[in-house]
Chain A
């Protein structure tokens, strides 16, 4: 791709990230084995919105998500959450900040030596100060919210892929977070289960009023749940717009991705 055909980048530079109420990634760079996965990335997520980040596999979507909660550390740049610079925090403050987040992992990442109820309860046991019965009630309520009943004493290995994702979601909302991060929530699921997960995400947004960041390459899911869609390519956000505008976008990268075509500026391999 020559320089002329490179897209014009939308600007997410913040002069005062300290006063920004939401999430801001400012000039974040991260590379693995010499390959830049995030390359001077700027992006902002406002409170209350649902942003879907799309992009090809290996473009760094999950890496971006993990930087927000410092599961990965950038080589340069800053990440701000509610005016707090995440990388400047000590361990205790970082864990306090993480209580504002819930995260659904790609493969659910349930603790396989624990029952589903223990999975959902663990964060509350360690952090909430609630009584045993209150914790159990909260865990059961979260499981009911994601449509799981009578699975409390089952182990993750006994659940289907869709049920595992829902259990992972129950664990993510148990601590009543302000932000929920979804890493490929519908990947590996059949279309009907995937749509049920989309409905669940919408339901949680409506009921819990959370800010959601969803990483996916499932466009059906993106169009259904997003307020705004952003596209990550070569380590940068090359496009971001309200979901209504995305279908009509004349951005050739976005058009190729939506069409799922092997021909276009994104290339096939």
Chain B
């Protein structure tokens, strides 16, 4: 019983402490954003890693997201709903939920692991201390460019993922599911709302923040050697995925309230 309460107590203290330190890190990164122009080279470099590096993964994921959405929508609709609404169903599913969330989970896993492992290795090999010793703030030089690049690029990647998923859904519908291209297009146009596309991109913006924060936070707080880097990388990916799903609910609740109003 004592050991159980010890474990629970320690876990709660760790969670509160991590939340506090994470908030401080986030605030420090926000304070450093005015230096973004000076750090544009590093930011562009990170944007390149975020966007171009994720492209093959995003293309593959989006193709299959669009395809499976089409197949499952047809299966569920065939007896009750006219097929002209297939385009509507696919586009709404992709714009509002599947595009931003699956893109964030897939890209997040990749980026979180990258940030946590890179910064964690720098931490355990004293490279972060060395940076501080030449009067360079690692938050400004390493964290802020990653944060800004991820926050800015995730909505861009999401637009790209949305487009590929819808194109893939269209091709599967027309080629294998006996749906005409004009009926698919009509459904797509009929109930398209810019606010729904925007809500997906707003989600992507916040998910970008969660992904970069998780990777950077775990990287900067890595302890120990190779094992510590492994632990930090795993922790970053897990916390990023969980936080994305939790944030998705709250963002959806707030954004749909705004859309319906």
A123 near B126: Cβ-Cβ < 8 Å = no
Query: Which of A14-22, A97-105, A136-144 sits within the interface?
Result: A97-105
A127 near B130: Cβ-Cβ < 8 Å = no
Query: Which of B15-23, B133-141, B149-157, B242-250 sits within the interface?
Result: B133-141
Mask of A101-113 contacts with B, CB within 8 angstroms, 1/0: 1110111011110
Which residues in chain B, 119-165, are within 8 Å of chain A measured between CB atoms?
Answer: 122, 125-127, 129-137, 141
B135 near A105: Cβ-Cβ < 8 Å = no
- Count CB-based A-B contacts (< 8 Å): 61
Contact residue among B127, B129, B136 (Cβ-Cβ distance under 8 Å from A123): B136
Contact residue among B127, B129, B132, B135 (Cβ-Cβ distance under 8 Å from A127): B135
Mask of A166-199 contacts with B, CB within 8 angstroms, 1/0: 0010011011000000000000000000000000
* A3 interface contact, C-beta 8 A: no
B134 near A105: Cβ-Cβ < 8 Å = no
Q: For residue B140, which residue of chain A has the nearest CB?
A: A126
* Complex-state Cα separation, A228 to B137, whole angstroms: 34
Chain B count of residues within 8 A CB distance of the other chain = 14
* A81 interface contact, C-beta 8 A: no
Contact residue among A91, A101, A107, A110 (Cβ-Cβ distance under 8 Å from B133): A101
B130 near A126: Cβ-Cβ < 8 Å = no
Q: Collect the chain A residues with CB atoms within 8 Å of residue B133's CB.
A: 69, 71, 98, 101-103, 172
| Residue positions of A touching B, CB distance < 8 A | 66, 69, 71, 91, 95-96, 98-99, 101-103, 105-107, 109-112, 122-123, 126-127, 168, 171-172, 174-175
| 7 interchain residue pairs of minimum CB distance | A123-B134, A109-B130, A109-B126, A95-B135, A103-B133, A105-B126, A98-B135
